Amino acid sequence: MESGDLMFSFYSEVFEKIFYHLPWQDVSFLYSALQNAVGEDKGNCEKLFIFLDSQNADLNATQPLSYLNTLQLSYEVEWPVTIMLGSHLQNQYNEIFSFLLQIKCAKYLLDKLYSSKISCVKESRPAFKKRHAKVDLPRQQKIHGMYIIRMRLMFFVNGLHNYIMTRILHSFGLEIKEKLENSQTVDDMIVAHNEYLKSLHNRCLLDRRLTHLKQQIFQVLNLCYTFQQLWLRGVDNISLEKLQAVEHDFSKINNFLICCCNVQR
């Protein structure tokens, strides 16, 4: 996920379908998208596979982005690399991959709204008046409120994304690279890699002790999806109650996470 354009080419095709609420859980489509992304790297192209794990324990019907957990990557490792990168460790990498995928998807959905004006479905004047007869909030004020919600969500997601990608993935990547270069034996390399993966796993909130904190973050990410779908429906087709519900849920979770961070400090 830190490979820049390489993986962006893959997951942007998936996120584009999610943005427009199109079916994406098709193995042939996913395999084609992955091959298009890594096709130039002949050495790894033939060793990298993708499949769907429909029995994934992290699926949540109330959280659409949780279905990204079904995406699993598999890399065909040859001996002696299997000593360091067995199937068990690949499972842990897949958990990290799924976590990052949901963050990047939420960011993609919000970023794409920059190039998409709030939709407005044309209606006849009588129908428009009937629909909004009980709405006291002026239309322009509701539009302004939607832009504010989008900016609050983007501030949260961008901050989380930058922290994970720079303070964790990039920094830990430099550390493991240095440790591997300075390793004298295979055992030293195995220990260094295991410590790296354990630290990465914990920092991505995948430790069982951090499950509640992780779920709160996932709720915000799924709020991004909910808000993006509301945006596409158009301001004239969104009730004030739904906007207030999104803002209320986000504020509640955001305040909880701030309290958790202050306690840890």
Summarised one tens digit per residue, pLDDT across range 133-184 is 444 457 888 888 899 999 999 999 999 999 999 888 888 889 889 988 888 8
Structure tokens at 72: 């699993």
Query: Within 10 Å of residue 230's Cβ, how many Cβ atoms?
Result: 20
> pLDDT (tens digit, 0 to 9) for every residue of the chain, 265 residues total?
545 556 788 889 999 999 998 999 888 898 888 888 877 666 666 778 888 887 776 777 778 898 998 888 888 877 777 777 777 888 888 899 999 999 999 999 999 987 666 655 444 445 545 554 444 457 888 888 899 999 999 999 999 999 999 888 888 889 889 988 888 888 888 899 989 999 998 888 888 888 888 899 999 999 999 999 999 888 888 888 888 999 999 999 999 888 877 655 4
- 142 in a structural domain: yes
CA distances to 3, 184, 225 from 100, rounded to whole Å, are 13, 33, 15
Give the three-state DSSP class for 181: helix
Q: Tokens standing for 91?
A: 């499972």
The pTM of the full predicted model, rounded to 2 decimals, is: 0.85
In a domain, 119, yes or no: no
Domain-embedded: residue 127: no
| 95 located within any domain | yes
List the CATH number of the domain containing 30.
1.20.120.1900
- Specify if 126 maps to a domain: no
Enclosing domain of residue 107: 4-111+137-264
Domains: count for the chain: 1
The upper half-sphere exposure of residue 190, i.e. CA atoms within 13 Å in the direction of its Cβ, equals 10
Residue 251: what pLDDT? Answer: 94
List of E strands, 11-126: 48-52, 71-75
- Tens digit of each residue's pLDDT (9 = 90 or more) over 34-46: 888 877 666 666 7
Residue 123: inside a domain: no
Q: Please state, in angstroms and rounded to a whole number, the distance separating the CA atoms of residues 211 and 228.
A: 26
Residue 120 belongs to some domain of the structure: no
